[in-house]
Amino acid sequence: MIISTMRLTGVAAACAILSVNAYAQDSSLTNPSISAVLDGYYQNTERPMAERVEGFGLGHTELAMSANIDDMFFGKLTAMIEMHDGETELGLEEAFIQTLAMPYGLSMRAGRFLSDIGYLNNQHVHTDSFSERPAAYRAFLGSHYFDDGLRLSYVAPTDLYWTMGAEAFKGDDMRATDEHGEREYEPIGVYTAFTKIGGDAGVNGSWQAGLSYLRNENGRLTAEEHEHEDELEVLSDEHVHSAQYTGENTYVADFVYKWAPNGNYKYQHLTLSGEYFRVTDFEPLEEDHEEHEDHDDHHESNDYQQGWYVSGVYQLSPHWSAGLRYGQVDALSMHDDHFDEQQLKETEVSLAWHHSHFSTVRLQYTNQQGTNFDGFEDDNVITLQYVMTLGAHSAHQF
């Protein structure tokens, strides 16, 4: 009996030593990465569907913590602090677990996380080269779309990088507005599918192209029973992370090309990127469109809404970068028994100083031209912004 007890004690001690050694070899199991991103700004006026308001303010300030949970799972938590309607709001942008050891190139993510549709959406906004996301993102994805759900993705064993995946989300921020509170929303409202492929283009360049599809079960509008002026007031009260224009089907195509001498991005590089969005099937199902064909001469243009942008960012040296971006949104706003066309064009120039990889000061000029776009007129926007990172800073995505 004494010998058996001694053997059990020895086995337990050996297991404890092995466990301690395992944790010592992977420091992230006991020392999680903790970081904070400080985003402050001054802006001379407001922009449509944007997070930043006129005057001084806080932008997308983050506090993040991540670590390997064990040899099978990784976890991350990202809290965000933002200003909305003069009040400070605290929210969760990410709270997810990710598998680390699934076979055949598969992986799963569950919880709250950024959707992998498009090019920019799966990247944190503080990594952007401009102070706001393109107008198409603000209109159709609420700036950047994160939600509670599940993702299954696959990386193919090919010479070129090729990944694909599918997601299912709750979809609260993608719901079309229900003015009368009588609508029954689907509890799982959003499904996505995406694929991305990329590779090298010689010694100096690399590229990636992607196609994405988003199915929004709650994306169709409901019949209007109020005046147009009331509609504008409701739109302005919505939270900035909610999609302003929805539909059942959203299609996204994206492309990015990066160039750097001998592939060394540290000192000098150029990034060219662009995305195109098309949103369809947004009209109320109960509306008799044939009845209004003669009444609304814009009826033939009501088949889809669209948005796109093209961007070029050149890092001249380790400390300076300059960017130029043009974007456009063609949206439709329901007014009684017909739709009004709206168009927003934005031309943006950005100059940024990077003292290090952790600090950026940016000066940006935006010329916005809005044709009856949510009440916004043509304007010139000047933004002075700082983005500072404290603590661990993970590598940026491609």
Residue among 255, 180, 248, 259 at smallest CA distance from 210:
255
- pLDDT of amino acid 13: 42
- pLDDT of amino acid 218: 93
Cβ atoms 281, 289 nearer than 8 A: no
Q: Mean pLDDT, consecutive 10-residue segments, the chain of 398 residues?
A: 40 40 50 92 92 90 94 95 78 96 96 97 95 96 96 96 97 85 87 97 94 95 53 41 91 97 86 97 66 46 87 95 97 80 95 94 96 82 96 74
CA distance 333 to 296: 13
Q: Two tokens at 175?
A: 């719901």
CA distance 367 to 345: 8
- pLDDT of amino acid 22: 43
DSSP class of 337: T
- pLDDT of amino acid 274: 98
- Give CA separation, 365 vs 313, 326, 384, in Å: 15, 12, 9
CA distance 54 to 382: 10
Q: How many CB atoms lie within 10 A of CB 219?
A: 24
CA distance 398 to 390: 22
Cβ atoms 308, 274 nearer than 8 A: yes
- pLDDT of amino acid 238: 46
Q: Two tokens at 129?
A: 């080269």
DSSP class of 84: E
CA distance 182 to 188: 18
What is the residue-wise DSSP string for 266-314?
A: TT-EEEEEEEEEEEE--S-TTS-GGGGTTT-TTGGGTTEEEEEEEEEEE
CA distance 30 to 45: 46
> pTM, whole model, 2 decimals?
0.86
Cβ atoms 154, 74 nearer than 8 A: no
